[in-house]
Structure 1
Amino acid sequence: MIGILEFVTDPWNHVFMRRAFLVAAMSGVVCGVIGCYVVLRGMAFIGDTVAHAVFPGVSIAFVFQFNLVLGGAVAGLLTAVLVAVFSQNRRLKEDTVIGVLFAAAFGLGIVILSSTAGYSGSLESFLFGQILGISDGDVANVLVVGCVLLAVTLAMSGRLVAVSLDRETARAAGLPVFWLDLALYAMVTVAIVISLQAVGNILVLALLITPAACARLLTDRLGVMMVLAPVIGAAASFLGLYLSFAFNLAAGGLIVLVATAFFLLSWLFAPRHGLLRRARHRSDEVRRAQAEEGGVVEAT
């Protein structure tokens, strides 16, 4: 019992862990909410592209010592606009344009970072996160930007859902689909940027997609999904940090692994769409078919 109590309370005795918990919780909540739209749209590849697109912006901000969130947001939004523009050419499919810009953005970020002193350490912190080394200013930035992003998302939720579920119907209803696409890309960009310090550039897609995918398996109701996803994201972030502190392992990687464990549990045990539930349903259908067949034989 004492061991469990120490496991729960010890991390809170350290200032760096309290900062990490705040940033991890906000990252999990924001990515959970924004990730719902990404999952509904089936645009995980876009999320991956934006995750890598912010890299050159963050690198430039790091080199010239200005706000990392601003640098990453500008780069991500610029890439989103370029995807939308280049995709207008009917000779190129959207995934082709995404693949080109995906590689170009990441390559540009590495080149920019390689021009600075301490290149290897900087690259590692960007790629894999450095949540235990964040400052009070970083915490404040993440909390303020995260709250603003959640407020904007709530205000636009109805239109974003309409475009996510049926783009043609939304366009026929007069909704500005193109601009709503750009708005969603911008939201994904900001969510990714504020989460970089938690899990890093390589792993941030998991925090964006996995909690929302869990929620998608667990419920058919959109409102419930919008609540479950941020709860799962925050829970995965908290538990990952606890395990990181207890076993002295990489925080970002453990956050992602915990989120993945939640996904596997949802995939297996979801009440309507889980593997076990579907297997039980198929078994019941087989038994009913056999019973009906037996009844027919007896009648003849």
Structure 2
Amino acid sequence: MSPLDWILEPLRYDFMINALVATVVAAVVCGLLSCWLVLVGWSLIGDAVSHAVLPGVVLAYVVGAPFALGALVFGFLAVGLIGVLRDTSRVKEDAAIGIVFTTLFAFGLVLISITPSQTDLNHIIFGNVLGVSTSDLVQVLILAAVAFVVVLIKRRDLTLYAFDPAHAYAIGLNPRLIGALLLGLLALTAVVALQVVGVVLVVALLIIPGATAQLLTDRFGRMLIIAPAAAILASVAGIYLSYWLDASPGGLVVVVQGLMFAGVYLASPRHGLISRRLQRRRAGALATGA
């Protein structure tokens, strides 16, 4: 079999085309948002929101509503509960995040266990990108388009908030409002990625691309290009590997992203582990020679 056949054969199936489109779309919006999440240090909040949407998806199934609607409601609910706990008690933010996301995630597991269903609701947890229907794909495209447009319009405000909230306030911006917008985008993007990798692995799509890009460049504008590009490459590779290896597509997408990060961590020209050690050895040799 030629390399071209390896590429073209999976495209003969509609479910593979739907999977690739959904995965690439999710990769773009997750890759973009991950740049801000990494800078602000909201990795744990991303984990919280991605897990907290589970009961919303199950309840949406019960009442016959779109999964995306239920996930959005509980995503925003989780964000609101974290904020209330943080602002009205002595509980610190990391503890509030842990309390909210574990409770809501456990509630979702309970709902799955007691909900009679002809559909395997466990795919919500682990993802089912190969089962994405045309209607699911339309939902993903609409939500991703909304997230992308908002990010495009508010990118400068979000960037200023990430680097210097005090300066953002000084020039008339409202840091709390921008933070709420970022949380809303996080909830929306988590719903987009939910179709691809499920609840458990959403946080990987929301963090790894930005972390990878951060090791490759010091310029935020370049991060916004590198992160989605790396996410797309890893996602397409993961979907193709899942076809040829008959393995979990969502899992392989994340594994490929993790391997890509590991390669960049070791071999990045400026911030890679190997490069930094070589620079130290050169500096030591120069100092010894001097």
- TM-score bracket, shorter-length normalisation: over 0.9
1:127 is matched with: 125
Map Cα deviations across residues 252-294 of structure 1 (whole Å, 9 max, x no partner). 10000000011011101111101111011101110111011xx
2:286 is matched with: 288
Question: For 1:144 and 1:197, how far apart are their aligned partners in 2?
Answer: 13
2:257 is matched with: 259
Please give the TM-score of this superposition, normalised by the length of structure 2. 0.97
Map Cα deviations across residues 14-59 of structure 1 (whole Å, 9 max, x no partner). 0000000000000111100011110010110000000011111111
Q: Is residue 2:271 matched to residue 1:273?
A: yes
Map Cα deviations across residues 93-148 of structure 1 (whole Å, 9 max, x no partner). 111111110111101111222221248931x2011100111111111111122112
Partner AA of 1:27 in structure 2: A
Partner AA of 1:67 in structure 2: P
Q: Which blocks of at least 5 consecutive residues in structure 2 are unaligned? A: none
2:43 is matched with: 44
139-148 vs 239-248, greater mean Cα deviation: 139-148
Question: For 2:257 and 2:47, how far apart are their aligned partners in 1?
Answer: 17
259-268 vs 108-117, greater mean Cα deviation: 108-117
2:59 is matched with: 60
Partner AA of 1:96 in structure 2: A
1:296 is matched with: none
Q: Secondary structure at the match of 1:87?
A: helix
Q: Is residue 2:34 matched to residue 1:35?
A: yes
Q: Is residue 2:200 matched to residue 1:202?
A: yes
2:211 is matched with: 213
Q: Secondary structure at the match of 1:194?
A: helix
Question: For 2:104 and 2:22, how far apart are their aligned partners in 1?
Answer: 26
Q: Secondary structure at the match of 1:175?
A: coil
Aligned partner of 2:134 among 127, 133, 136: 136
1:100 is matched with: 99
Partner AA of 1:32 in structure 2: G
Q: Which blocks of at least 5 consecutive residues in structure 1 are unaligned? A: 293-300
256-265 vs 174-183, greater mean Cα deviation: 174-183
Map Cα deviations across residues 200-225 of structure 1 (whole Å, 9 max, x no partner). 11011111111111101001110110
Question: For 1:208 and 1:289, how far apart are their aligned partners in 2?
Answer: 42
Q: Secondary structure at the match of 2:160?
A: helix
256-265 vs 75-84, greater mean Cα deviation: 75-84
Q: Secondary structure at the match of 2:88?
A: coil
72-81 vs 42-51, greater mean Cα deviation: 72-81
Question: For 2:84 and 2:183, how far apart are their aligned partners in 1?
Answer: 13
2:242 is matched with: 244
Question: For 1:200 and 1:119, how far apart are their aligned partners in 2?
Answer: 19
CA RMSD of aligned residues (A): 1.3
1:11 is matched with: 10
Partner AA of 1:29 in structure 2: V
- Larger-gyration structure (1/2): 1
- After TM superposition, what 4+ stretches of structure 1 lie above 4 angstroms from structure 2? none
Task: Report % sequence identity.
Answer: 37
Partner AA of 2:236 in structure 1: F
Map Cα deviations across residues 195-253 of structure 1 (whole Å, 9 max, x no partner). 11211110111111111111010011101100111111111110000000001001010
Q: Secondary structure at the match of 1:88?
A: helix
Question: For 1:130 and 1:148, how far apart are their aligned partners in 2?
Answer: 23
Question: For 2:231 and 2:42, how far apart are their aligned partners in 1?
Answer: 19
Aligned partner of 1:169 among 167, 170, 193: 167
